Amino acid sequence: MLVNLRPWKTEDLDELVTLANNKNIAKFMADVFPHPYTVENGRTFINFTKCNPGSKIFAIVHNDKPIGSIGLHLQTDILRKNAELGYWLGEKYWNKGIITKVIPKMVEFGFNNLDIVRIFARIYGTNIASQKAIEKCGFKLEGQFEKTLFKNNEYLDELIYAIRK
Ligand SMILES: CC(C)(COP(=O)(O)OP(=O)(O)OC[C@H]1O[C@@H](n2cnc3c(N)ncnc32)[C@H](O)[C@@H]1OP(=O)(O)O)[C@@H](O)C(=O)NCCC(=O)NCCS
């Protein structure tokens, strides 16, 4: 499946909400990605992608239609040479090798365009798909913290993966 990255557009709102309103995605994301995912959540997100220079967020598209999202979030202060990577795909697009094609594009974009030397991702211990995908893209497990995250009334391990410029 041929996929590209492009900025989110206001017209993507309905498609975004259809994709994102899914508890199987939300359970692996921070609470800022809620379930249910409402039209208002979608509008706020698309506006955020347009108005925050510290976050470089792109729609993952197939034939220009959004199928997911990926973003780099620049850190501040003493962490300012780092960016956090986040991503998700609509559930019907899982397990087709899509994210392992897209992550390297985002890493290349980050190191070529941003003043950073390290890109990291924070992955739940329970999220095997994301761990496998990011390892395939050359990220290394740099740290593992036991039961630091509290999600859906459960304490979860936090795995920090990173890649260096
Ligand atoms: C994580 C996510 C983006 C993976 O995307 P994807 O395009 O399905 O991943 P890929 O198809 O590139 O698969 C990557 C690897 O993980 C494996 N994998 C995928 N789902 C798996 C699962 N549920 N359990 C075990 N392995 C799995 C694949 O087999 C592949 O490994 P392989 O090539 O050795 O077979 C997708 O599952 C998703 O959106 N999840 C919900 C949101 C999320 O977790 N975001 C990341 C937060 S850190």
Pairing of strands 118-124, 65-74: unpaired
Per-residue confidence (pLDDT) for residue 71, from 0 to 100: 98
Q: What is the value of pTM for the model shown?
A: 0.97
Average pLDDT over residues 123-129: 98
Per-residue confidence (pLDDT) for residue 145, from 0 to 100: 98
Structure confidence by residue, pLDDT tens digits, 88-104:
999 999 999 999 999 99
Length of the chain: 165
Per-residue confidence (pLDDT) for residue 153, from 0 to 100: 97
Q: How many domains does the chain have?
A: 1
Structure confidence by residue, pLDDT tens digits, 40-68:
999 999 999 999 999 999 999 999 999 99
Ligand 1 lined by 128 (C-beta under 6 Å): yes
Q: Return the residue whose CA atom lies nearest to atom 21 of ligand 1.
A: 129
3-class SS of residue 46: helix
Per-residue confidence (pLDDT) for residue 107, from 0 to 100: 98
Per-residue confidence (pLDDT) for residue 149, from 0 to 100: 97
Amino acid symbol at 139: F
Q: pLDDT band at residue 147, thresholds of 50, 70 and 90? A: very high
Ligand 1 lined by 129 (C-beta under 6 Å): yes
Structure confidence by residue, pLDDT tens digits, 19-37:
999 999 999 999 999 999 9
Per-residue confidence (pLDDT) for residue 143, from 0 to 100: 98
Ligand 1 lined by 87 (C-beta under 6 Å): yes
Edge-first strand order for the sheet with 65-74 is 4-7, 55-62, 65-74, 82-89, 118-124, 154-164, 140-151
Percent pLDDT > 70 in the chain is 100
Q: pLDDT band at residue 119, thresholds of 50, 70 and 90? A: very high
Q: Read off the CATH number of the domain in which 30 is found.
A: 3.40.630.30
Ligand 1 lined by 94 (C-beta under 6 Å): yes
Mean pLDDT across the chain, nearest whole number?
A: 98
Q: For residue 69, give its domain range.
A: 4-164
The tokens of 66 are what? Answer: 């959004």
Per-residue confidence (pLDDT) for residue 30, from 0 to 100: 97
